[in-house]
Chain A
Amino acid sequence: MGVDSTEAGPGPDEAAIAADLVRRIAAGETAAEGQLVERYRRGLRYLLHRLGALPDLADDVQQETFRIVIERLRHEGLADPAGLAPFLRGTARNLLIAERRKTARRRTWGDTGELAQAVAPAPSQLQSVLLDEEAEMVRRLIGELPTDRDRQLLLRFYVGEEDKDSICADLGLESLHFNRVLFRARQRFKELLERFQKQQVPVKEGR
C-alpha cells in the first residue's frame, strides 16, 4: 500500500464532532441524539448492507444499534469520546452476529421452507434489467476509452482483481496515470448512471 500519511480512525473534525455529541448526549440534550442518528444513519446502513444484512434486518439492527449506543451515552458516556464511530461500528457488527446466531439456533434441518430461503434467489426481471444496464454502461465506458492500454487497466483491476503495482509494472504505467484512468472511469460511469436514472424517473411517472 502507498505511503500512509494519516492516522487510523476519524480525522480531527470527526473526533471533535464525535466528542461534542457524546458530551451533549451525556448532558441530556435530546437534539444531540437526533444529530447522532442523522450523522451516522447512512454509513451504518451501508455497513450492514456490506455485512450481508437484508433490508428488513438492516433496519432492525440499525435501530437497535442506535438505541443501545444512546442509552450507553446517556448513562455512562464513553471512555474515548472521539471513538464514537468505532463504538457504533462494533455494536452494529455484534448485534448482527448475535441475530445470525439466533437464527441459526432456530433453524431446523430438513425443513424445506428454510432450505428454499437459504438458496440465493434469482434476480427479478427488473433487477436483471438494471444489472444488464449497468453492464451496458460499462461497455460504453470501455468503448470510449482512448487507448487499449486503459481498457486493459480497467478490466484487469475490476474483473481480474489484480493489484495496482502488478498492473502498472506490466503495462509500463505510472501510479499517477493509473489513478487518473480510474478517476475518469468513475466520473464517466457516474454521468452515465445519472443519465440512466433520469430516464427512469419519467418512465415511472408515466405509468
Chain B
Amino acid sequence: MDHAYIEDNQIADRYVMGTLPPEEVERFENHYLSCPECLDRLDLVEPLQRGFKRMAGQDAAKLAATRQLAFVAWLARLGRSRQIGFLLAALLLIAVLPAGLLLRGTAERGRELALARSDLEQERQRSEQSAAETARLRSKLEANQRDLASQRQQLAQAQQPQSVTVLNLDVERGASLSGGEPTHNVRLPARSGWIILSIPIDPPFQRSYVAVLWDTHGHEVKRIADLKNQSGTLSFSLPPSLLPPGDYSLTIEGLSGRFTFRVLPPA
C-alpha cells in the first residue's frame, strides 16, 4: 500500500469514518503502524471529520430552534383573544386527541373482529359443505360397492358352467295334452342353464310370430311375442324355473297344430 493509492482512494478518511472494507483496514493498519506520514494524515482527518459532524449537528439544532422561535413569535404577535382561542384549541386538542386515538383503536379492533368473524363463518360454511360432500361421496361409494358386489355375483354365476338343452319340436296335428303321451322329452339341467325350443315352420312366412306355452291344465304359462323366422325355424329360450316337471304344449298363433313335450326332473 503506497501513499498515492492511499490518497487516490481516501483510505485514511474512510478508515476514520469506518467505511473501509475489513481487508483494506488490515492492510492500512499494517502500513500506518510504522508510517509517520499516514499517522499525521489520520491525526488531521479525525478532527476534520468530527468537526463536520458537529457542525451538521449544530446546524440541525439551530434550524429546529429557529422554527420553535418563529412559532413563539407568531404566537406573540396574535391578539389576546386569538392567543386565548389558540390556547383553548390546543387544550381541546390535547383533551380530545387521546379519546380520538382510543376511538380509532376501538374502531380498528372492531373491524378486525368483524373480519375475523367473517372468516370464521366462511370457514364454518366450507366445513359444512365439505361434510355434505363427504356424505354424498360416501353414499356414492357404497352404491358403487353394492353394484360391484352384484356384478361380481353375476360374474361368478356366469363363470359357472352353463348347460343349454335344445329341444327340436315337431308339430303334432290334432294332438292334445290329454290325448296321449308327448313324443318329445326334455330333462331339466342339474345346475343353471337354459332350455332352447326350436320349432320348424313352413312358408309363407309371417313378419313375426307369437308362441304361447300351455301347461297340462290348459293354463297359459308364458307368451313369447315378436319371434322371427330364422331359416324356417323359430327359436327361443326358456329358463328352467319356468318349466317344472310335467307336460306342456306350445301353440304358434297363425299356425295350425300344437307342439307337445314333457319336462322331466333333473337326473
Contacts and interface: CB of A to CB of B under 8 A. Distances in A.
A134 B54 contact: yes
A18 B34 CA distance: 10
Interface stretch (A39-47, A114-122, A198-206): A39-47
Interface string A1-35: 11011101111001001100000000000000000
A33 B5 CA distance: 31
Contacts of A39: 34
Contact of A154 (B9, B32, B52): B52
A132 B39 CA distance: 23
Given A138-B48, A157-B13, A189-B44, A42 B39 contact: yes
A186 B44 contact: yes
A88 B27 CA distance: 13
B19 A163 contact: yes
Contact of B13 (A5, A11, A88, A182): A182
A183 B9 contact: no
A9 B35 contact: no
A40 B5 contact: no
A4 B31 CA distance: 15
Nearest to A1: B9
Contacts of B31: 9-11, 14, 85
Nearest to B11: A1
B172 interface: no
Contacts of B47: 134, 189, 193
Given A44-B33, A154-B52, A186-B41, 18 more contacts: A8-B1, A9-B1, A11-B2, A85-B31, A85-B33, A89-B30, A131-B51, A131-B54, A134-B47, A134-B51, A137-B51, A138-B48, A158-B52, A158-B53, A164-B9, A179-B7, A182-B13, A183-B7
